[in-house]
Structure 1
Amino acid sequence: MLTRSAYLKAPWQFEIRQVELPDEPPYGTVLIKVEACGICGTDLTAAEEKAKDWKAFGHEVAGVIEKIGEGCEGLHIGEKVVLESSSFCGKCELCRNGRVDLCNKAPNFWKEPAMGFSDYMMAPACCVVPYEGLTPEVACLAEPAGVAWDMVKTADIQMGDRVCIIGPGPIGLMAIPLALRSGAEKVVCIGRPGNENRLELAGQLGAEPLLLNSGFLEQEELYRQFDHVLMTAPVRFLPEVFPYLAFGGRVTYIGIGTGSGVIQFDANEFHFRKLQLRASHATPAIYYPIVLKLLKNGTIPGDKILSHTMELNDIDKAMRRFTEDKGSIIKMAIKP
C-alpha cells in the first residue's frame, strides 16, 4: 500500500513522499493509521544540522490500529494507541536485573519508510500502548510527558525540595506539576523575553515564573537557593546555573541543542560544595501508562500545553513556524 510520509534533510529541507508499505503487517508488527504526531525539539535539531541524508521523521505518535500481524497478542483492530519511540527487550541481563531503563534492544520504527508524520506507518507491537479518554492531539503528548517524568525521576525530588526549571518549553512546563506532585515545596520557572506566554502558563501550573532579561550569572538573588535545577535549555548554559544550587544540590538536564556540547566548570568548587550533575536521557521511552493517566486526569493539562495544530501537507511551514514563532507556540501537533 502507498502512504504519504514527510522526509527532512538539513538544512531545512522537507518533502512529502509516496512510500510503499507492506499490504499485510509482518510478524510482530501492526499497521497504524496516524491521527496526530507532535513536533519535537529533536526534529528541529535534525532539520537544522543533524540530518545529513533524507529520512522520515516524527516520533510522538497517536493513532488507531488498522491491521495486526501475527504474534501481536492483546492488541485489537480499531484500538486507539500511542507509540513508545523506543522500548526494552525484557530478555537481556539488564532487563532481568530490573534495569529496563538501560535497555534499548527492542525493535523500533526509526528506520521505517514512514514514521509519525504520515498517513499510515508500521510499528512493532512492543511499542504500542493503548489509551482511551483523550483526543489524539493530547494523547501524542505522552512521549514528551514521559521525557519530563524521566527527568523528574532522575533528579529524585524529595518532599520540601526547592526546584528551579530553566526553560519553559513543553518539557519544562510538564515538569512543573510532576515536581510538585513529587513533593517540591517551591518551583521557579525561568524564561527569556519572548517566552511570556509560556511563563504565564508556568504560573498557572503552580510555578513562580521569572522573566530573565540578563544573563544567568547576573541573578545573584538566586544563588544557592535551590536543591534542584532542571535544565531543559542548551547544555552550554549549565556552568552558569551551578551557582543556583544550595550545598549538596544537583542539576539534572535533558537539553542537547545544536553545535558543541562541550562545557567547562570549576571541578574543585563542584566537589567541595558536594554538587551533582545528572543526565536524563529518556530512552527507552517508558512511563507511558503513568503519564497517560496524568494527562487524562488533568495533572498535566494537555489542552493547554498543545497550542497549535497543522496539517501534514504543511509540514514545511509548521516546522519553520515552530522555531520562528516561539512567542505564541508552546507545542504543535501535525494531523494527516
Structure 2
Amino acid sequence: MHYQSAYLKSPWKCELRTLELPDFLPDAHVLIRVEACGICGTDLSHAEDKLDDWQPFGHEIAGVIERLGSQCDGLHVGDTVVLESSGFCGRCDSCRDGRVDLCNKAPNFWKAGPSLGFSEYMIAPACCVVRYDGLTPEAASLAEPAGVAYDMIKTADIRHGDKVCLIGPGPIGLMAIPMALKSGADEVVCIGRTRNSKRLEAAEKLGAKVVASDLALSAHTELHHQFDRVLVTAPVQIIPQALSLLAYGGVLSYIGIGTGDGTIQFDANDFHYRKLQLRGSFASPALYYPIVLKMLKNGTISADTIISHRIPLRDIGQAMTLCKEDKGQTIKVVITTENIAPQV
C-alpha cells in the first residue's frame, strides 16, 4: 500500500514521492494519517539555502491515529491528535530538578520514518502524541507554533499593567498578542512593515494597536523607552534597535533566526545602566500543547484570523512559492490532505 509524501531540497525545489506503508510499526510508535500541517518559517529558510539533499519536511501536524504499535497505552485508533516535535525524558537531572524545558532526550519524529508532516501518512513515537477534540485539523495544527509563542510569553514574564511591544506580525507574533493581553498587559503595540497589510489587519483584530512603518525603529523616537516588555519575532538583527524601545528595567524576549552569522552589537553601557534584560526563547522541547489547545478551542487564539490559506498537499510546491513571494498577503498557510485510501 502506497501514499504520497512531499520532499524538499534547496533552492526552492519540492516534489511529491510515492512511498510504501510499513507492514509493522516499532514498539511505542504510531501510524498517523495526516490531516493538516502548517508551513513554518523554518521550512522556508531550509528551502532557501539549508538542504543540500532531498528531505521530507513539515512539523506542525494534526492527524488521526491509524495504527498502533505495542506499548502505546492510553492511545486508540481513531484518536485525533497533534504531535510534539520534541520532548523531555523525565529521568535526567534537569527533569528531576523540575527543568523539563532544558531536556531534549525523549524520542522525536524527525527520523522515525521516511515522511514528515507534508504527507498523507507518517510514523511518530507515541510519546509525541497529544490528543485533542473540538477543533478542525487546520486549527489544531496551530498548536506547535502557538506553543512557541507561549514559550516567548513565559520567557518575557509579562506582568499585570505592562505595556508590551511586538515586532514582527508573523503567525507566532500574532498568536502572542492575545496571550500577552491575557497575561495582564494593559496594551500591545504591534510594529510591522506597510507591505504586510494583511498581517497588520490581523494584529488589530487580535487586540493590538498597530504601527505600520517602513522606517527604522531608531527613527520612532516617540516609542523609545516606552515599553516594559518587547517581543521580537523578527530576524535577530533588529534586536539592537528594539532595545531602545524598552523602559527602565524592561525585558526583551525574542524567537528568531538571524541571517549570515547572526551576530549583533549593542551599547552595553546603556543596557547596564537602564537595567535591561535580553532573553532568548527556544521552544524545544515542545511544551504547553494542552494550554494552547485550550486557547484555540475557547477562542483566545482565533484560528480563522491566523490561517489565511488552506491548500491541498498536491499543490505543496505552489504553496511554498506563495509563502516566498507574497508574505504581505499570507499569514499561515496550512496544507491539507484529501484523506483518500492508500493506493494498492
TM-score (norm 2): 0.96
Letter of the structure 1 residue corresponding to residue 160 of structure 2: M
1:84 matched residue in structure 2: 84
Letter of the structure 2 residue corresponding to residue 151 of structure 1: M
1:13 matched residue in structure 2: 13
* Mapping of residues 1-336 of structure 1, within 5 Å: 1-111=1-111, 112-336=113-337
User: Cα offset for 1:19?
Assistant: 2.5
Q: Deviations over 1:279-312 (max 9, x none)?
A: 0000001100000000000000011111101111
Q: 315-324 or 39-48, which moves further after superposition?
A: 315-324
User: Cα offset for 1:20?
Assistant: 3.4
Kept in 2: contact 1:37–1:333 (CA 8 A):
yes
CA distance in 2, matches of 1:134, 1:290: 14
Which runs of 5 or more structure 2 residues have no equivalent in the other structure? 338-344
CA distance in 1, matches of 2:272, 2:56: 44
Relative to 1, partners in 2 of residues 1:66 and 1:81: Cα closer, same or farther, differing over 3 Å? same
User: Cα offset for 1:203?
Assistant: 1.2
Letter of the structure 2 residue corresponding to residue 71 of structure 1: Q
Letter of the structure 2 residue corresponding to residue 197 of structure 1: K
CA distance in 2, matches of 1:306, 1:294: 15
User: Cα offset for 1:3?
Assistant: 2.4
Letter of the structure 2 residue corresponding to residue 106 of structure 1: A
Letter of the structure 2 residue corresponding to residue 123 of structure 1: A
Letter of the structure 2 residue corresponding to residue 277 of structure 1: L
Q: Deviations over 1:149-170 (max 9, x none)?
A: 0000010000111100001111
Q: Runs of at least 4 residues of structure 1 off by over 6 A?
A: none
Letter of the structure 2 residue corresponding to residue 119 of structure 1: E
User: Cα offset for 1:113?
Assistant: 1.0
SS of 1:307's equivalent in the other structure is strand
Kept in 2: contact 1:173–1:202 (CA 8 A):
yes
SS of 2:329's equivalent in the other structure is coil
Q: 58-67 or 111-120, which moves further after superposition?
A: 111-120
Kept in 2: contact 1:49–1:258 (CA 8 A):
no
Which runs of 5 or more structure 1 residues have no equivalent in the other structure? none
Letter of the structure 1 residue corresponding to residue 59 of structure 2: H
Count residues with an aligned counterpart. 336
CA distance in 1, matches of 2:91, 2:2: 35
CA distance in 1, matches of 2:157, 2:21: 43
CA distance in 2, matches of 1:284, 1:24: 28
CA distance in 2, matches of 1:149, 1:324: 28
CA distance in 1, matches of 2:98, 2:223: 39
User: Cα offset for 1:259?
Assistant: 2.5
CA distance in 2, matches of 1:97, 1:18: 45
Identity over aligned pairs, percent: 64
2:341 matched residue in structure 1: none
Q: 255-264 or 23-32, which moves further after superposition?
A: 255-264
Kept in 2: contact 1:33–1:120 (CA 8 A):
yes
SS of 1:327's equivalent in the other structure is helix
Kept in 2: contact 1:188–1:207 (CA 8 A):
yes
Relative to 1, partners in 2 of residues 1:8 and 1:257: Cα closer, same or farther, differing over 3 Å? farther
Letter of the structure 1 residue corresponding to residue 308 of structure 2: S
2:342 matched residue in structure 1: none
TM-score (norm 1): 0.98
User: Cα offset for 1:49?
Assistant: 1.1
